[in-house]
Amino acid sequence: MLPGTLSRYFGFRFIKSVVGSFFGVVALAAMIDYVELLRRSTEWPNATALVIAEISLFRVPQLAERILPFAVLVGAMSCYLTLSRRLELVVARAAGVSAWQFVAPSMIAAFLFGVVATTLYNPLAAMLHERSKRLEAEMMGELPASAMQASTGGFWVRQRSADGAAVINAKSSRGQGSQLGTVTVYTFDNAGQFQERIEAKSATLAQGYWRFDDARIYGSGNAPILQDTYRLATNLTLEQVRESFATPETVPFWQLPSYIELADRAGLVAAGYRLQYQQLLARPFLLTAMVLLAVSVSLRFFRFGGVQKMVLGGISAGFLLFVLSKFTEDMSKSELMSPVLAAWIPALVGGLTGFFVLLHQEDG
């Protein structure tokens, strides 16, 4: 290991570079998200720029969580390219310090970044994202009922009760699926014959029934019926609804094990929750792998040239790792791959690739 002073110096430079890259990327993501929300807010007559900014502010932490690995990659590349340009790495090598020694502080810092991001930052981001969905739903709730139409997108769930079957579609979900926005329901009798269509601004799951607010009921051959509240019997539990309506990204890290356990008791697959939990566990190792990838393309001396190729190589490696992670994620959600493998393969591939490239460069 490096002496304490030199180790702290390299670690501080790495942290400073990563934090700068992270906030730079987050600022860019925030501006893009704010503009997108402004475009969507044209359908919200009472929306203000301040409320839109508040919604975007609550959404940004989760967006930042997704791009954290690439912020570490870019920050690590920037750090070691700067050290190389200033010949600080040359001096360190001349003093008998190997690449493994001045990379170790960055790897430790990246691992600690990942631990903090998983245990502290993720619960905060999930809570703020849930709050942003609540604000957005309140803005959408001000639309007149006539503005709602049946949607082929959003979230879908099917239920069956003593009264027959029903298919529920919602454009938005809050409270882990217990509260829905812009809801359309198609009901059928026990013989499978269509009965009525229900449209409502919102729906809330209670014990044994759905409560629809500002509902409009369309029966076959009958005029629409308007009701302030309408109840539809259901045998769905909150755990079953979560499987269809809740997104795993909105569940804090510390609550994921209990969600998985409840889903198992209800006989549900819960593949999305398992994958999210394993991805959060693998995050510290993924960030460490990003450091190894960045170092493997950033240690070439500036006087040898080829800096542009090194930067392009690092960005390409990060992009390929992103493609691999999306591929394994889709495989896991399709139940074609174990969530454990899907979450840990990108970290293992990235780490081993950076390790062997750096090993080849340093030790031949």
Do 25 and 118 belong to one domain? yes
Using an 8 Å Cβ cutoff, are 176 and 238 in contact? yes
As given in the structure block, the two tokens for residue 149 are: 């139409």
Give the model's pLDDT for residue 114. 93
Rounded CA gap, 341 and 280, in Å? 13
Which residues does 238 contact at the CB level (< 8 Å), separation at least 6? 176, 177, 178, 205
Q: Considering 237, 257, 288, which residue would you say is the last residue of a domain? A: 237
Q: Establish if 247 belongs to a structural domain.
A: no
Is 178 found in the same domain as 57?
Answer: no
User: pLDDT value at position 304?
Assistant: 54
Question: Which residue's structure tokens are 């803005």?
Answer: 139
A 10 A CB-CB count for 135 gives 15
Q: What is the pLDDT of residue 147?
A: 34
Q: How big is the chain, counted in residues?
A: 364
In-domain check, residue 244: no
* 80 in the same domain as 57: yes
- 205 is a domain residue: yes
Q: Global pTM?
A: 0.73
Distances (CA, A) of 283 to 32, 277, 327: 25, 10, 17
- For the chain (length 364 residues), average pLDDT per consecutive 10? 71 89 86 84 71 85 88 88 78 74 87 93 88 72 38 64 80 74 85 84 85 86 82 77 67 84 65 87 93 81 61 81 89 85 92 85 62
Q: In what side-by-side order are the strands of the sheet with 209-219? A: 155-161, 164-174, 179-188, 194-206, 209-219, 225-233
Position 258 in a domain: no
Whether 200 is in a domain gets the answer: yes
Q: Are residues 151 and 202 both part of a single domain?
A: yes
pLDDT attached to residue 265: 64
Residue 115, token pair as written in the block: 């631990």
Q: Is residue 195 part of a domain?
A: yes
Whether residue 273 is found in the same domain as residue 317: yes
Q: Which pLDDT value is given to residue 149?
A: 37
Neighbours of 301 (CB within 10 A): 14
| Domain finish residue from 220, 237, 254 | 237
- pLDDT, position 341: 92
Q: φ and ψ at 286, to 5 degrees? A: -65, -40
Per-residue tokens: 282:
């693998």
Q: Could you say which of 215, 237, 259 is where a domain stops? A: 237
Q: How far is CA 88 from the centre of its chain?
A: 38
In this structure, is residue 81 part of a structural domain? yes
Residue 72: name the closest of 276, 286, 351, 319 by CA: 286
DSSP 235: -
- Whether residue 68 sits in one domain with residue 18: yes
The parent domain of residue 233 ranges over 145-237
Same domain, 204 and 313: no
Least Cα distance to 308 among 76, 81, 72 occurs for 81
| Total Cβ atoms within 10 A of residue 323 | 11
260 lies in a domain? no
Find, among 191, 190, 186, the residue nearest to 219 by Cα.
186
Residues 6+ apart with CB under 8 A from 179: 137, 173, 202, 203, 204, 205
Number of domains in the chain: 2
pLDDT tens-digit series, residues 225-266:
888 888 888 877 776 676 556 677 778 888 888 877 766 665
If asked whether residues 132 and 18 sit together in one domain, one would say: yes
Q: Which residues sit opposite 216 in a β-bridge?
A: 199, 226
Angstrom distance (rounded) from CA 110 to CA 118:
12
71 shares its domain with 49: yes
Q: Are residues 89 and 12 in the same domain?
A: yes
Judge if 276 and 354 occupy the same domain: yes
Q: What is the pLDDT of residue 345?
A: 94
Residues 30 and 129 in one domain: yes
| Residue 300, token pair as written in the block | 């070439």
